[in-house]
């Protein structure tokens, strides 16, 4: 199906065609913890990975399975793992390859929560994260040594909103046996990281994929195109016997099943052991949102472009940050990696600084003031005092957060209503 249909069709059809038990057209919520085995032999085959099938909802679930298949098909990948949050997806995507003494190289341009995960929690677990400036892709090579297990970046990181050089960095890693993991949360449909050489995609489905703001969730998607066995010393966790699964060597075990070593290991070891499983109800909710994702992301992008142009025309604004308004190399990357729009996120800085930023936020009537992006409703936040407040001033600067910076996640309401709310709040802020 992935090869034939377009994204608009895949989000409605991939991975499911009527429930085999009831013929239900909507994907049922399989709200069950466990599954009866057909026989003793069936049970032992499932546990031995001779056959894939349902065992226990901490590890897999039929509702979640449809979401995994649908997301993988949408991205042109071979398999997916849906988990309880975007944070869990990011953490597992690294822990699946790196252990104490290993390192990964990551772009500095990250969501604040990922920054904390990388610079504190993973570090405390003995995994070093080396942060590099992505404006020069060669920085990834320079930070690499023989213990580097992965490269990590966000396609469209906020607040800088400078698109990441996916192909350039994937091409540095591939001959070294190092996969590029890309968080595509801010640009689903618009960016297709697998087409440019990324090995793994992670998502916070909480954002645009759900779109309704009801359900936290995350996903890890496997392109199936990265050769984990080409350089066995580089990826020991996939090429050496795994004591946590009766000595299985993952790249060998999956040979009859397809190129799913990475995702199968993540499911059967990390999800099994650490347990951040998605609830079937949240998977169902996320599927409802996913059905309209291509329509919504196009409208988010159209509205955001108009908001960025409107803000640029005001005298009280120091600068506006939006990929559709950038020039030079940033614009080249935006045009190379995004198509069909530049996304729904817009940043701007008021000339009058932090105090005006706070007044602006308090004066908004239509926009919600929340720590979220990608909702169908318009959202706004002042990152320095909220999402990025746990970072030092230096770290805030490195991730692009200045004191007066305001981030908008432009929704899909009528553009005139969005612009009217922004105008009145800017006026109230003293513009």
What is the contact surface with ligand PLP in residues (CB under 6 A)? 85-87, 90, 111, 113-114, 154, 183, 185-186, 204, 206, 216, 218, 373
Minimal distance, residue 404 CB to ligand PLP, in Å: 21
Q: Tell me which residue of 350, 371, 323, 354 sits closest to 422, measured CA to CA.
A: 350
Strands 128-132 and 103-107, bridge-based pairing: parallel
CA distance 212 to 232: 43
Minimal distance, residue 272 CB to ligand PLP, in Å: 20
State which H helix or E strand residue 408 sits in: strand 405-409
In terms of CB distance, is 122 or 216 closer to ligand PLP?
216
Q: Where are the alpha helices (DSSP H) in 55-109?
A: 62-75, 86-95
CA distance 107 to 55: 38
In terms of CB distance, is 202 or 320 closer to ligand PLP?
202
State how far the alpha carbon of 152 is from the alpha carbons of 180, 236, 311, 375, in Å.
6, 19, 32, 25
Minimal distance, residue 155 CB to ligand PLP, in Å: 9
In terms of CB distance, is 82 or 426 closer to ligand PLP?
82
Q: Tell me which residue of 20, 343, 9, 390 sits closest to 155, measured CA to CA.
A: 343
The answer to whether 40 and 53 have CB atoms below 8 angstroms apart is no
Minimal distance, residue 360 CB to ligand PLP, in Å: 21
Q: Which residue has the tokens 């604040």?
A: 112
State how far the alpha carbon of 360 is from the alpha carbons of 351, 370, 381, 404, in Å.
12, 14, 10, 11
Minimal distance, residue 337 CB to ligand PLP, in Å: 15
Rg, Å, the chain Cα set: 22
3-state secondary structure (DSSP) of residue 298: helix
Residue nearest to ligand PLP (CB): 86
Tell me the angle at which helices 415-428 and 353-363 cross, rounded to the nearest 10 degrees: 130
The answer to whether 403 and 354 have CB atoms below 8 angstroms apart is yes
In terms of CB distance, is 115 or 262 closer to ligand PLP?
115
CA distance 123 to 16: 40
Secondary structure (DSSP) of 104-135: EEEES---HHHHHIIIIIHHHTT-EEEEE-TT
Minimal distance, residue 206 CB to ligand PLP, in Å: 4
In terms of CB distance, is 122 or 373 closer to ligand PLP?
373
Token pair for 402: 């200045």
In terms of CB distance, is 94 or 238 closer to ligand PLP?
94
Q: CA torsion, points 362, 366, 370, 376, in degrees to nearest 10? A: -160
Minimal distance, residue 373 CB to ligand PLP, in Å: 6
Minimal distance, residue 117 CB to ligand PLP, in Å: 9
In terms of CB distance, is 168 or 183 closer to ligand PLP?
183
In terms of CB distance, is 111 or 226 closer to ligand PLP?
111
The answer to whether 100 and 125 have CB atoms below 8 angstroms apart is yes
Minimal distance, residue 203 CB to ligand PLP, in Å: 8
3-state secondary structure (DSSP) of residue 20: coil
Minimal distance, residue 105 CB to ligand PLP, in Å: 18
In terms of CB distance, is 169 or 186 closer to ligand PLP?
186
In terms of CB distance, is 184 or 235 closer to ligand PLP?
184
The answer to whether 30 and 61 have CB atoms below 8 angstroms apart is yes
């Amino acid at each position: 199906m992935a090869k034939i249909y377009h994204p608009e069709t895949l989000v409605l059809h991939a991975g499911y065609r009527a429930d085999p038990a009831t013929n239900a057209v909507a994907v049922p919520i399989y709200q069950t913890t466990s599954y009866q085995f057909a026989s003793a032999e069936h049970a032992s085959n499932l546990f031995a990975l001779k056959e894939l099938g349902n065992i226990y909802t901490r590890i897999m679930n039929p509702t979640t399975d449809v979401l995994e298949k649908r997301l993988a098909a949408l991205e042109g990948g071979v398999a997916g793992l849906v988990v309880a949050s975007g944070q869990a997806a990011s953490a597992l995507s690294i822990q699946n390859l790196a252990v104490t003494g290993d390192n990964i190289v990551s772009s500095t341009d990250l969501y604040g929560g990922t920054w904390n995960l990388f610079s504190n929690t993973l570090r405390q677990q003995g995994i070093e994260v080396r942060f590099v400036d992505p404006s020069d892709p060669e920085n990834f090579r320079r930070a690499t040594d023989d213990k580097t297990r992965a490269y990590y970046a966000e396609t469209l990181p906020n607040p800088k909103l400078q698109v990441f050089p996916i192909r350039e960095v994937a091409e540095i890693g591939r001959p070294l046996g190092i996969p590029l993991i890309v968080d595509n949360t801010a640009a689903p449909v618009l960016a297709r990281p697998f087409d440019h050489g990324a090995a793994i995609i992670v998502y916070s489905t909480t954002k645009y994929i759900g779109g309704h703001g009801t359900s936290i969730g995350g996903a890890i998607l496997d392109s199936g195109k990265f050769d984990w066995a080409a350089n066995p010393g580089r990826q020991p966790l996939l090429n050496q016997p795994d004591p946590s699964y009766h000595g299985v060597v993952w790249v060998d075990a999956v040979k009859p099943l397809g190129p799913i070593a990475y995702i199968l290991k993540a499911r059967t070891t990390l999800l099994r052991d650490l347990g951040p499983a998605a609830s079937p109800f949240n998977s169902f909710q996320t599927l409802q949102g996913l059905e309209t994702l291509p329509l919504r992301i196009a409208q988010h992008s159209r509205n955001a472009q108009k908001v960025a142009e409107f803000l640029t025309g005001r005298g009280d604004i120091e600068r506006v940050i939006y990929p559709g308004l950038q020039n030079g190399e940033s614009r080249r990357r935006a045009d190379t990696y995004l198509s069909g729009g530049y996304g729904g996120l817009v940043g701007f800085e008021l000339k009058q600084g932090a105090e005006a930023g706070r007044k602006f936020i308090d004066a908004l009537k239509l926009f919600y003031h929340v720590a979220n992006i990608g909702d169908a409703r318009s959202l706004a936040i002042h990152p320095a005092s909220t999402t990025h407040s746990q970072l030092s001033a230096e770290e805030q600067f490195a991730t692009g957060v200045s004191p007066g910076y305001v981030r908008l996640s432009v929704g899909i309401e009528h553009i005139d209503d969005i612009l009217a709310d922004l105008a009145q709040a800017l006026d109230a802020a003293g513009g």
